[in-house]
Structure formats: C-alpha cells, structure tokens
Structure 1
C-alpha cells in the first residue's frame, strides 16, 4: 500500500476506530475462555467494539494460534486492518540463548547478531511480528532484577550490542525479509538506574549523566534502524517517562528524528495516576498522548478516554492521526495488508524451530559467554578422573532465565546429560545436594505466581548425605550452583546477592572433604562470590545459558573449548559498594596518589574499593602477553587520526581467543571526567607460540563529552590511552589533542 493510500485510510477512519488501533491487548481476549467476561475484560473495562478493533496483540505464540486469531479478527473488524502480534522474545524464541547479560560477556557483537537472526526466524514463522527487545538499559547495580536482560555497565559496549540486536532482528530495516521481525528498543529511558536497585523505583540523575552514559545505546539502536521504542516505568527528572514530553518528543522525535512507534510498557499509562502526576485516567490519556506515546499496552485508558480528550481539545486529534499513521505504516512495511498472516506457517515451524543449525549456534554462544573467574589448574578436567557432579543445577532444565517462560524445558541439555557424553557411567556420580532456594522464599516472593513446578521437592537430609558420600568417592567435585532463575528478571530485585543459604550450607559441607572443587555459577546477575572464591579451586560463571547449556559448558569444562568470555558488568566485592563500575570519577581525595592521609581518602574502612572481578575480566586456559605498545604519534589533530599498536602473544599450551580492550582518559576537562572509558575492543585467535599485532585508531570524535554548557565537544589537552585484557590490568601511554 502506498503512503497516499495509508493517509486516505486514516482520513476515512472514525475517531473511535483510530483510537482502537492504539490499543494493545493480551491474547486472552481473543481465545475462547469461559472466564473472559469475568477475567481480563472485566478487569480492564474494555468494550467488545474495542476488542474487535484493537491494533495489536501481546504474547500469543504459534502459527496456528496467530493465524486463527487473525482470521477471525479480519472477519469481524470494521476496517479490515490486520493485527500486529508482539511478544517478549528476549534471549531466543524456542532455541534459547544465554540471557542478555551472558550475551554481553561474549564481547562479540557479530555472534549476538547471529543469535538475534535465529530468534527472528523462529518467531516469524510462528506468527510474531515484533519483539520487545533489545533492552539496552545501562546497569550499575546488580541488585536490580532486570540486570539479566541488560548487556552491562558500559555505554560504548552496550551501543555495539544494541546495533547488533537490531540488525539481527530486522536485517535491512528498509527491506524486511520473511525471516525478519521488528525490534522494539526498551526501556526509554534510564530504567536501569532505579534507586536502591529496586524494581520500578525512582530514577534521579543529571542530564549530563543521562546523555553521556544512559542514552547512547538507545540512539545506537535507532541509528541501526529500530522501528519501535518502549517507554520505561521510571521517572526522568521527576516526570514519568510515559508522560515525559521532553524525553519523548523533544529528544526522541525532534533531536533524534525518530518516526517509528512509541509504545508504553505494560499498564504504564494507567500508572501515571499512581505516580501522582494526574488525577484520573482521562488526564493520563491526555498526558501520554501529548508526550508522544502511540500505543497503550494493556489498559483501557486510551480506548475509554481519548475520545473525551479530543472532544474537549480538538487540536489534539492531530496526535492521534500521527500515531495511527505510524501503526498502519509498520503494518504496511510488514506486508500485512497484502497477507495478514505474513509467513506464519506450522510446517515451517517444525522445520525451523530448534533445528540442528540453530542449536549448534546456541552451543557456540554458550561457549563464548562463559567467564572463567578463577582457576588453580583444576580446569580443564582430566577425563581419567572420577567426577562428582553435585548441586541443584546438576540435572535441572531450568537453565534459560525468567524471560523464557514459554520455551520447552524438555529441549534443554542438562549438565548431567552433557557430562555423560564425555565420561563413562562409572566415572560420573550425580547428586542434587540441596534445593536451589528455600520454598518459603519462593512463596513469599512470587505470591500468586508461585507454582510447585518452580519449587524443588526433595528429602534435604538424604540428598545432602548422598552428595557428601559421592564427593568422598570422587577425584574432583563439580558443583552446579547459583540463584533460582526466578530470583532475577522483572520483579527480581534482591538486597542480598549472595548464593541462597541452602546452597551455601551445601558448599560448606562439601568443602570440608578436601577434594578439588570446581564451581559452575548460574545466575542472571553478578553475585557476591567473595566466600566462594576462597572455597573453590576454579569458578566458571555460566549465567543462564539456555537450550544448549549442558553441551556448551561441558565443551569448556573438558577442554574442547578454551573459555574467552569477559565480564560486561563488574562483580562487587560486597553489596555495600553498589553501585560499582569501572568508569568512576577520581574524586578530590582518591585512595591512590592523594596528598591526604589514607584515613581521609575516598574509601571504605572495612572492604576494598575495587570490585571482586572488574569490568572486562575473564581468564583463559592459556597465557597472553602484551608487548610493544606504541602510538604512531603523540599529537592528535582534530582532522587526523593516530594509531595504537600492541603485540599479543600466546605463551601457553592452548589455542585461545583474547579480547584486547582500549580505554582512554581525559586528564583535564571543564567537567570531571572518568578515570577510564572503553573506546574500542578487538578479539584475536592465537595458537600456542603465535604473536599478532593489533591496532586501533583514535580520532577527535572519540574524545567528546558534554561540557559545562552541555555541548558535546572535545577539549584540547592531555589524554591517556590504555590497552589491556580488562579494565584493571592495562598499560598506559600519553598523547595530546591539539586545538
């Protein structure tokens, strides 16, 4: 359909039908359920006419279901405008990849792009048009539950990942293929900085911090072609994001020239009342519409109140026309007017979903997402040993994270399954040992959502005894431990980010036996592991790895693959450090190189300043050495570039992949600058004894920041460039930016 026809369609629609196109409902409204009238329909107060003409549906999966709903909808709706089907496809559709914080640990945007392509392909043949991904919120506080959905603490790295996700989902945004779906960037903006790490809580920061650290990844996603943005639940400068005109119209629409769809998060327009910025739903509708929100997700605010708003303020109808046009334009770009079912196909589902090709990629992503935190030569494991695999994740299929709720757990490869492929039956002893977490914790935290399926029923005393017995019989103990997958994710904020106490007891008992111990840590966030660092000989951070969890981990544990993952978020030494991140300010009284006595410097008196494991950290089975670090010129002029070179040598016995990281520090600025900022990274594969030269280019644009006048500029002066394997272990050279 041509643009002229789309505009004619909008002009010919009644006001009510326009408003209904801005309504998104869950699939429960469109399925034959006897409790519909007393359930979601009654709860939201949605009229039949609105339901029959809503613009989009949330979280219906499967070709047969989506096609059946679309068929009935097209037969009953006024204007025969097809539905959009949207879903939370966060780290895979049915082939599940590591949770995004794990994807971030790959430091491999191309691999993330490939994973997003697989997710898009599986979703498309199942009838999905839009995914609520990527979440590009920068996070510095691991207490926040949605850390698992972020790619970390750094604006530069998050921006690279944001671009990769969008390109993977959408391909060429101007010419969507049948295998593509639409990317919805979220949550706009600064959702990852809630006070106290508490879900849905207040966010309060300066405009400089917002622009310099939190906004770049959203902008990178839009520059990559993302066609949809989701608002966040939090306030920005005291105004809820969903009703924030400065954020959504001035920055998103005008400054960034975004002409795609802006959708609210779940019930966020209705929650403007709870924020206390409007008195009622009608005012909420007006505020959100004027702020630029096109689609109301799962409330009746737009459907029941926008008509009244327009009757009182006729000039605001232009906002509805703009919003409706954007919705129809996206449906047109997807080809839904020509074929409302697009590529939904049950036969294709059977062929595409969980195919060998997709599973092989998932396994590779797991390989690269694993971060070796500690190793006293226990890994890789000797195949001639007797191994005790102990812990609540030894046989668990709950390895995909909290956003993979509709995936098939039976498709997940467990650790026991994978280890059994490497070892003879008499070499492997498997015991659960303990619950993942206390039943009472799950019941209290999940409330009405508690399910016995999420709980682990076992004879705790007998299991502990069995685990101890197996550990005594073994040569080495591998412990599969971590937080419950429902302890992270939305609504999963935690004040205590240590291992659950039932597992700490298990680790304590097994460690008394004195056998070499390997810890495999499953989590959706950085945990406080300072106790475990002392108890285990080796620690491997596995995140929630997804469908090919067992295979991907076994590849690394048994030495088929050399671990190459690097942290994209610091692991705190203690929760008292939070927020903790590598690119902090120096302060007037830094702990190091201060003219004051140590007592009166910026430090804790009871714990270190530094995190337990820093941003960019990760070990290998081999040793990489950095030599011949040079600059092509110590003077950088504004229209020129200088080249940074370093030689990387593999001095160990294993082939491996190293991630070389480049950081820059502006030594003197009109506003305080961080002690270092990531400005580049490259990965190289090296055989034992091999050396390669790695180069980076630095230009003036990489040195810009928001100055006192909030202009994005560079300032002449001295800079340091640092090269290393992580944010702490670096070599440093100086250069000068001339006027």
Structure 2
C-alpha cells in the first residue's frame, strides 16, 4: 500500500511540475525518470504528435489560438514549429502547448539561422575563407544570442556538406571542398550555437546537415542522385558530420538525395548503423522539408510505406510531410512499426526539450526585454564587419593598385554597387535586408569628404529579364532598369570619366547561389562582362569587387583586370568591410576553401585528388598525348585551394622536421620560418599538408592536416610549428578500418595547396 501511495504521490508531483509553467519551478526528478514517467502517460496519438514538425503556417500574433496549427497543438499533435519568430509570438504559441494541451509538453521552435540572425555575417563559404575558427565560433555564438532573444531555441545549422562542384548552388552554405577544414569549422559552429550549457537562454540546439553526401549531386543539380563508394564517403565526405557529432551536436537533418539506391530519409544503414552505432550519436534526427513524402517520388512506396520506412530507418521528427501524424498509428496497429521504435523516437525529442530547460521554464526564450537589447547591436555589427573583412580573398593585385588612396574621385559602377538587399546573401531569413550597407553607402560613411564617391548602375544583372527574376527571389530585387543596355553603359562611362579609379561591383546576385540555384555556366553574366570591358577601355585603373556565392570561372577577368577582390556576400556590414579593405584600413587575409576552375569542363576539381597511372607531371600547361589532360584546356585550376593574396608579402624558409622517423603513438614537430617581407602589416594562413606516399589503397597527392592564422608586422619573423601524430596519418582502408600504415610521408607547409617543397619522414610500427 505504501509503495502504491508513493507512486501516486510521485505522479501527482510530476503532473504539478508540468502544469505550473512559467513559475521557474525546478524539475526534481532525474532526466531519465522524468522522461519515462511522462512517456508512460502519453497516448499513441500524443507520442506521434511529438514527432510532428509543421511550419508555423497561418499563425499570426493575435489569432494564434484560432489557427489550424493551434488546434493540433491543443490536441498534442505537434512537437515543434519552425518559421515563426519574435518572443511575443512564440510565447503566445508556447502558452497554448503548456496550458491547453493535456500533458502540457512545451514546443521546440526552429529556424534557419545559417550565418547570423539580424546581424548577418558572410555566407558560410565566406566565413570558411577566414580560416579563423575563433571568429567562426563567435559568429555562431552571436547568432544564437540574437535568435534566442527572439524566442527561437533550435537552428538548422551548421551545413557541413563537402562539395567539389560549384555548379551546385548550395556550395555557398558550406565550408568548401576539404574534409579536415570542414570538420574543424563544424566543431566551431556547434560550440558557438550550443555553448557549454544548452539550458542557458542564449544558446540554440544545433542541427548538422544534410546527412549525408548532399554536396555531391550528379551534374551539380540540386536534389539529384548521389552515387559514390563507401571508401570515398568515409574519407572525403563523412568527416565533418562525424566531427559535429563528436562535438555534441543535438540534432541531425537528413538529406534529400539517395545513397546506395535508398533515399537518405529512409536509409537505415546511414541513420542507424553509421550515425547511431558507429558514431554513438544520441540526439534526434529530423527530415528536411517534406523529405518523407518525397520518397514517394523516388519510387520507395506509398505514403504509409515511406513514413514507416523513415521511422524504422532512424528518423525521429517529420518536417512538414505529416506522414508520421497521418499513418504511423495504422502502421503500429498493423505491426509495420513497433511501439518500442515510437517510444525511442519520442524519448529523444523529449530529451532535447529537457536539455534546453523547457520543462523547467517553457518561456525561457521568450524574454520580451532581450529582443530589445540583444539583437542587431552595435557591438555585434562591429564584429560582423571585422569578420567580413577577414573573409575577403584578394585574387589579384598587379603593381600594388590596392589599397586605394583616400583622396580624389572613385566611381562605383555595377548592378551590385548600391543594393542593400543582396549584401547579406542567400539563407539570411531573419535579416532586415534594408538595413544592410551596400558598397557606395559604405564608402561614403567610412571615407567622408576625403574621397568623392560617384555611382552608376552600368548594366542589369543579366540581359534576360526572366532569368533575373529567378535570380532575385524572396524580395532581393536589383530593381531592373528598363533603359536600353546602351543607355546604362553610356551613363556609366560618363561617371567613369570623372573618376581617378573605377571600382566595378559585379558578379552574382545573392539568389543566384543557394538552394535550387544550380548553374551550368559559371562566368560573370555576359552583360556585366561587356560593362567591365568598356570600363577597362577607358584606360583608368579598374578594381573588380566580385560578389559571388560560389567559385566562378574568371580566366578573362584574371587576364584583363589589375585587381580582383572576391567579397562573397559579406553580410549586413558589407559596404563598411569592403571599404576597410579597399582603402587599406585592413589588409586582406582570406584564403579560398574551394578551388576556382578555369573552365566548367574541369569540374569536379579539387586540390586533394589522386594521381592516375599516367599523371601529366609538371609541363606548365603543355599538352602531352597519352597523359591525363585535356586537349583544349590546362589541367590546373585558375586559383587553387588555400589561395589568397595580401597587401604585404610573406616568405617561407627553413622547413624542418624534428625527426625523420615516428613510431606509433609518437609525434614529430614540423616547423617553418615566416617573414613579412612587404610594406604592410598583415595576417597569413600557414597551411600544413601531408602526403601518404604508398598505401594499401591509393591516397591523395596532398591532404590538409593543419593550419594557423598568424599576424606579422612588416619586417617581423616567426617560427610556426605543427605537431604531427599518428592520428593525422589515419585513413579508412578498403575494409573501412581507420588506420595509419607504416611507410613514407611527405610534409608540406606553405601559403596555399600548390606548395611543392617538402620534408619526408617514416612511420615505423
């Protein structure tokens, strides 16, 4: 009897804790006990409801309680919502869940917080080009602080997909082509979002995506088929996902593509064998938007079948499809899905809510004061400006044209020279785009009266109006000018005639890259190329400020233009940061994290390729029959991975290894002397590459294994050292064993991946 009374008392206490939300009453049970007691009270319908993630749909402030989504929340049929923001609105919706549903379980609130919130940082490809992990982590920390101040507690970021094909538009959302660098950035982003204590109200639950291989679609076409060997998966594409898992990421998003003929959303080998069993992931997995119902188009089965397949494969939360909500009860009754699997999925969702502290206080992210003090602050914007400046990659600077003098007249010419809404770039859903600072405004703000700044549009984005409409979606218009091409050009030339130097602001619009923005041609649009040629014919110095979300083909521009500064899409402080670099307040220090091809025909192109049995060798672009080369193009890229110039020069000398042999579990040190031999202070990204000369499976010609970003004043010298351990030499062999094999290794340290000088050592078992 006493045991029964104690059990009743415990249930009553738990019910009281769940009912009294908003009074900061602490949950006293252990996490496991709490979740198990809650789970025991849930009906099958309520359990399935926790696995349902609809978009916010028709909810607007003032009528949330009468919406269709609200009805489902009251009935316990919703586990979370996304695409809803502001603490006021989210508080109103959360109140429905914790006061009007039977079990009063709080909701998750998610959003695509990708590269900042209202304070927007450079697109992720640009962020990666800083090679500065502390800045990258800080960008995620600021994004978490701002988004959480607006009621959000879950972000669908970081995207860590490796991509070697810039035709794929979503290369802009990732960190480039390299697994090692991508892994380091993945860890930094997870740390930035989640912090050390996820229950603090200035953190976000992170979601690594898209698992897996989404960045390798055939033809570079978004959502397309992916087919690759498992040895390539493990060595070249899986590492950043695993790094995020090892860093403690709370959730994972499934990708749209298929793997081994099975869509990722229904791929049990991927979601259970790899993610759960091999990597010990203990968070939950969510589909991408309508991922479950899309399996029907793949040819996997009807709605009930694909929903059961996804749940059984290891998916816990269904984004938008409502396949779980509408079919899983029937599948359980028919024995196609077990109650054990449903309970396992629900536990993981409840666990995430517990870790976020939502059972203690479901309104902890709904502080109406924080969204007035923590969002789009001057301090955050200053950090975004600094980060943007560090992301820019100087591709060319003949005769020291840059930095420009802070005097005379500068003509800013081009369709991207004075357009605020395109500065933040793709996937900037929370940004107030009109508050972004375009180039012309940034120059005038920074330079004041010292420089006379003129502007002319010069051309439209592209000649085809329909194409421009596709490339300027989501309100990111470039305000197409209906004057003729000749009228726009003549106006630009008149403005240019008054200037001492021309800054040509050209390239892509922000929505020419990103999701569903694949391109077959990767040059600057032809109408802009014509504008650039006309500006060059004036004989005045021309600086190309290149806006892009992907590597572009720039062979002609690299031959004709004296200076090229690639600024990606820099974020809300774009114009200020670009001006800082152009006029020398900052020296460029960004380095490419994705190879720039000479031709689309070279794609896929990446630095850590393997030799063939007939390598071309060093023939300086000359064709050689019966070797691995093209008859109409050189083999090498236009700009290699890791490339980026500075206003100063850095000299590398005296590459040394501490030993010529290393035993298992031992280590050696590699060092190099770097001297700033130029006339400016600057930052340099020192890059360590290793080659495994002979392996049981063929190995890449070079792999990034370390990097350091250092600051050197002009004339300063520094010895940079790297520690190499056996872990750095490991790879997955044909049995998918992660091993290091004895033999010879070459160590390279240089300013980019084209470095050729090396020192050898032997790994001895």
- Contact 2:74 2:102 (C-alpha < 8 Å) held by counterparts: no
- The yes-or-no answer on 1:718 pairing with 2:744 is yes
- The yes-or-no answer on 1:196 pairing with 2:219 is yes
Alpha-carbon displacement from aligned partner over 1:158-211 (angstroms, at most 9, x marks no partner):
0000000000000115x5322111110000001110011000000000000000
In 1, the alpha carbon distance for the partners of 2:54 and 2:645 equals: 47
Which deviates more, 311-320 or 14-23? 311-320
Quote how far apart the aligned CAs of 1:426 are: 6.7
Change in Cα spacing, 1:32 to 1:633, as seen in structure 2 (3 Å) is closer
Quote how far apart the aligned CAs of 1:78 are: 2.4
Query: Which residue matches 1:522?
Result: 547
Q: How many residues are matched? A: 730
Which deviates more, 65-74 or 710-719? 65-74
Quote how far apart the aligned CAs of 1:220 are: 0.7
- Contact 1:442 1:455 (C-alpha < 8 Å) held by counterparts: no
- The yes-or-no answer on 1:418 pairing with 2:447 is no
Matches within 5 A, 1:373-384: 373-376=395-398, 377-384=400-407
Structure 1: which 5+ runs fail to align? none
Query: Which residue matches 2:20?
Result: none
Matches within 5 A, 1:135-534: 135-173=159-197, 175-278=198-301, 280-313=302-335, 316-376=338-398, 377-397=400-420, 398-420=422-444, 421-424=446-449, 427-438=452-463, 440-442=465-467, 445=470, 453=477, 455-460=479-484, 461-534=486-559
Quote how far apart the aligned CAs of 1:410 are: 2.4
Quote how far apart the aligned CAs of 1:466 are: 1.5
Alpha-carbon displacement from aligned partner over 1:80-115 (angstroms, at most 9, x marks no partner):
111110000001110000000000100011110001
Query: 3-state DSSP class of the match of 2:369?
Result: helix
Quote how far apart the aligned CAs of 1:643 are: 0.8
Of 33, 58, 63, which aligns to 1:4?
33
Query: Which residue matches 2:21?
Result: none
Change in Cα spacing, 1:78 to 1:456, as seen in structure 2 (3 Å) is farther
| TM-score, scaled to structure 2 | 0.92
Alpha-carbon displacement from aligned partner over 1:499-545 (angstroms, at most 9, x marks no partner):
12221121122121111110011111111111111221100000000
- The yes-or-no answer on 1:650 pairing with 2:676 is yes
Query: Which residue matches 2:723?
Result: 697
Measured on the aligned residues, the alpha-carbon RMSD in Å equals: 2.2
Alpha-carbon displacement from aligned partner over 1:334-378 (angstroms, at most 9, x marks no partner):
111222111322321121111111011101101110000000111
Query: Which residue matches 1:556?
Result: 581
- Contact 2:439 2:576 (C-alpha < 8 Å) held by counterparts: yes
Query: 3-state DSSP class of the match of 1:28?
Result: coil
Change in Cα spacing, 1:47 to 1:427, as seen in structure 2 (3 Å) is closer
Query: 3-state DSSP class of the match of 1:664?
Result: strand
Query: 3-state DSSP class of the match of 1:143?
Result: coil
Query: 3-state DSSP class of the match of 1:269?
Result: helix
- Contact 1:437 1:500 (C-alpha < 8 Å) held by counterparts: yes
- The yes-or-no answer on 1:621 pairing with 2:657 is no
- Contact 2:166 2:220 (C-alpha < 8 Å) held by counterparts: yes
Of 96, 110, 113, which aligns to 2:137?
113
- The yes-or-no answer on 1:130 pairing with 2:150 is no
Of 643, 662, 683, which aligns to 2:688?
662
Alpha-carbon displacement from aligned partner over 1:107-142 (angstroms, at most 9, x marks no partner):
011110001000000011100010000000001000
Change in Cα spacing, 1:337 to 1:709, as seen in structure 2 (3 Å) is closer
Change in Cα spacing, 1:36 to 1:462, as seen in structure 2 (3 Å) is farther
- Contact 1:61 1:128 (C-alpha < 8 Å) held by counterparts: yes
Query: Which residue matches 2:60?
Result: 31
Query: 3-state DSSP class of the match of 1:696?
Result: strand
In 2, the alpha carbon distance for the partners of 1:440 and 1:384 equals: 38
Matches within 5 A, 1:539-688: 539-592=564-617, 598-688=624-714
Query: Which residue matches 1:101?
Result: 125
Which deviates more, 351-360 or 416-425? 416-425
Query: 3-state DSSP class of the match of 1:27?
Result: coil
Quote how far apart the aligned CAs of 1:423 are: 4.8
Change in Cα spacing, 1:52 to 1:505, as seen in structure 2 (3 Å) is farther
Quote how far apart the aligned CAs of 1:445 are: 3.6
- Contact 1:53 1:77 (C-alpha < 8 Å) held by counterparts: no
- Contact 1:439 1:455 (C-alpha < 8 Å) held by counterparts: no
In 1, the alpha carbon distance for the partners of 2:378 and 2:465 equals: 40
Quote how far apart the aligned CAs of 1:443 are: 6.4
Quote how far apart the aligned CAs of 1:593 are: 6.5
- Contact 1:722 1:732 (C-alpha < 8 Å) held by counterparts: yes
In 2, the alpha carbon distance for the partners of 1:187 and 1:488 equals: 17
Change in Cα spacing, 1:597 to 1:457, as seen in structure 2 (3 Å) is closer
- The yes-or-no answer on 1:20 pairing with 2:49 is yes
- Contact 1:229 1:261 (C-alpha < 8 Å) held by counterparts: yes
- Contact 1:479 1:517 (C-alpha < 8 Å) held by counterparts: yes
Query: Which residue matches 1:90?
Result: 114
Change in Cα spacing, 1:284 to 1:446, as seen in structure 2 (3 Å) is farther
- Contact 1:442 1:450 (C-alpha < 8 Å) held by counterparts: no
Quote how far apart the aligned CAs of 1:463 are: 2.7
Quote how far apart the aligned CAs of 1:153 are: 0.3
- Contact 1:170 1:181 (C-alpha < 8 Å) held by counterparts: yes
In 2, the alpha carbon distance for the partners of 1:540 and 1:463 equals: 24
- Contact 1:334 1:342 (C-alpha < 8 Å) held by counterparts: no
Alpha-carbon displacement from aligned partner over 1:410-454 (angstroms, at most 9, x marks no partner):
22112111211315387221111112234534467479x676845
Quote how far apart the aligned CAs of 1:458 are: 4.7
In 1, the alpha carbon distance for the partners of 2:761 and 2:330 equals: 62
Quote how far apart the aligned CAs of 1:720 are: 0.7
Alpha-carbon displacement from aligned partner over 1:362-396 (angstroms, at most 9, x marks no partner):
01101110000000111000122321111111111
- Contact 1:20 1:50 (C-alpha < 8 Å) held by counterparts: no
In 2, the alpha carbon distance for the partners of 1:450 and 1:568 equals: 28
